[in-house]
Amino acid sequence: MCFVRWFLLSLSIPLSAVWAHAADFSNLQPVLATDTPEQVVAKAAQVIPTPRQMDYHRREFIGFIHFGPNTFSGREWGSGMEDPASFAPAQVDTDDWCRHMKAAGMTLVVMTFKHHDGYVLWQSRYENHQTIRNSPYQNGKGDIARELSRSCAKFGLKFGIYISPADLYQIESPRGLYGNASPYRESAIPTDPAAFHADPGKVRADRPAGAPVFRMTCDDYNRYMLNQLYELLTDYGPVHEVWFDGAHPKQKGGQKYTYQDWYALIRKLAPEALIFGKGPDIRWCGNEAGATRDTEWNVLPMAVHPDQCDWPDLTDKDLGSRARLAGAKFLYYLPAETNTSIRHGWFFRNDTEQTVRSADDVFDIYERSVGGNSVFMLNVPPNREGRFSKRDADCLIETGRRIRATYGVNLAEGAKASATGLLDQRDDTFWQPAGESGEITVQLAKAAEANRFVIQEAIALRGQRVEKHALDAWVEGSWKEVATGTTIGYKKILRFAPVVTDRFRLRIQESRLSPAIAGVSVHFHAQPPLPVRASSDAAGLVTLSLDQPKFTGKGAGFESAGLRIHYTTDGSDPTMASPVYQNPVPMPDGGTLKARSFAGGQAGSLCTRRIGIPRSGWKVSASSEHDATYGAAKAVDGDPATFWHTRWDDPPSHPHRLAIDLGKTRGIAGITYLPRQDKRVPDSMIEAGIVEVSDDGTNWTEAGSFVFGNLLNDPAERTFLFPKPVRGSHLRLVSTRGVAGKPYAGAAEIGVLAP
């Protein structure tokens, strides 16, 4: 039926696609040694998502929950040796989580039911120590998986599970199963817990009625993982996403994972579930900072068949261009998931140091990810009261409001298009021109102000094809180009400065075979007053500016005329009665500055910035520096593009020390740390350390110790506040551990905070 509808709606069939019939479209296309470059490109145009992957695309915006012992220790990665009673929430309100995620527009929630520390948050039969059964929460009877699955069903959200292959408890424990050199034996899954070691072929007696039994050959740790998966997929379903993180804080004994057995179990027990990361369905976008590619191909070249792939992280800017297709053995459909956290860090630490993204930031990531051919996954970590903190909840509510206000209203309703099948909001009807380029026009029912144009390719039936396109608006009697782009895929959101128009023209300029456009829509985003950006110089003068949106392609920023910035330095939130920003604000002793822009009576998002002590007159030295280009002074020069780095050649090991002579005795509340910004590599990033103070630069007293998590994938500035303010004329940063075990230390910028 779909093929007939496509044939009737098509203008004609391009000559380059005569040989491409419906039967030729598949998730995987083999590349022959005899294929010409043109034939390889044609095959790439016939790679389509599986029905599961297509359903995944339609989810668009999903949620992530990190909750566990790390919530109470303030660490990103636990050691596995934590007291199991340290997970001690007084209550856990999963309804609160789901209510706010639903309000944000999310459609699915994935939770870390076992993170790298090995702690399990459900009533597992296979873990007796690092388990919620040894928590004071509900006297050991709590089951977060049960609570969240019920809340997801209550609020109409799909349910997903994260279970870490890495398990520090099983690695570090003397009787741990990870890497224990146990033999591979035929095992029944689910295994009788009492016979786990003595007779692994014995079936668990209380498995759900009708649930299948698997016979698999595995060692102790794979049997452990398979049984945990079995529990989560049968006791808490239906499950729609299974998350396998590729991170390994530590390994032992050459442990291997029998991934193919894991996949087989998931496919049988949760046929609708997609497997993320170390799996065949969804790939990681390549960073954890909310960065997206301007050109996102989901049709990827592979050197081996997917059954033999170990699914490495794909971080390159270019993953699927024509140049990358050369030399491929297979072409495979693998969509991206853009995952980041609403906070700096995946777990909740506190509401003083830990920054929270603004709705401006989250909405921007939403438009770049959902509107850039990927799914947006936003992590929101519950606090120690088992709820979302107010700042996080407010951000979710405002983000959802903006999404509904912008994309819930289609200005093209009632419009007329130059081709049929474009305005019916269906992805099985589409326009397809005769060649590898073409154009369509959309005539609105009446002139309207617009600044968003959404395009969708018919990827379910014809794959991802468009390589270059442009959008024109009819303005003052002629066409004006307002936006340009490259790939489209599932969805492309073109953003541009507002125009008042009654028609648009979409030009497809380059495509792999004939393009197939399933739909377009037109929208207007009523941009709130712009957020404010604050920066300070060495003398303590603070400059405020409007944070203008920056669009790729032809898009432009917003008009900032008429916006006024109001600010405060006394800790209060600025109002229209607060001082108006006109010149740089002197803050000779540092402090907290708050600012926001106003347009009429409407306020923009709040900017809160801890301003460090002025750097003028500081003297800096380090125990190691590579050369003058990477000298200690680079850590306090006010330029985030430069950085201090210890010696690369024959590097000394930690600890490394960076000492700052502040010039006079003053109160000190903490520090800020900005890691290197030039590239995403662990060299020089300080993961853990100590801050010391002194009155003479000789005798030092410890002010506090810190652990900075997630620096490599989200290298934003971190704040460390001491347990209590101290006084001193000298400050020393001592590194005790580098990211990824690197022996180096360094910093792009170190700030010193006043009480």
Domain termination residue (choose one: 562, 580, 611): 611
Please give the Cα distance from 647 to 666 (Å, whole number): 32
Q: Residue 593 sits in which domain range?
A: 532-611
Shared-domain flag, residues 568 and 637: no
* Domain harbouring 570, CATH code: 2.60.40
- At 477, the amino acid letter reads G
Shared-domain flag, residues 460 and 515: yes
Strand blocks (E) in 532-646 = 532-536, 541-546, 564-568, 585-586, 591-599, 602-603, 607-611, 619-622, 644-645
pLDDT at res. 716: 86
- Flag whether 25 is in a domain: no
* Domain harbouring 730, CATH code: 2.60.120.260
pLDDT at res. 559: 64
Tokens read off for 251: 């390994």
Quick check: bond before 655 cis, omega within 30?
A: yes
Q: What is the pTM of this model?
A: 0.90
Counted domains in the chain: 4
Shared-domain flag, residues 593 and 645: no
Please give the Cα distance from 117 to 518 (Å, whole number): 45
Domain termination residue (choose one: 590, 611, 632): 611
Shared-domain flag, residues 454 and 544: no
* Domain harbouring 63, CATH code: 3.20.20.80
pLDDT at res. 20: 44
Shared-domain flag, residues 163 and 236: yes
pLDDT at res. 1: 32
- Flag whether 321 is in a domain: yes
Q: How far is CA 752 from CA 33, 570, 720, in A?
A: 61, 19, 10
CA dihedral 645, 649, 652, 655 (to 10 degrees): 20
The residue ranges of the chain whose pLDDT is under 50 are 1-23
pLDDT at res. 556: 55
- Residue 337: which H helix or E strand, with range? strand 336-341
Tokens read off for 213: 């039994």
Tokens read off for 198: 């003595």
Domain termination residue (choose one: 611, 645, 663): 611
Burial bucket for residue 109 (CB in 10 Å: 0-12, 13-18, 19+) = buried
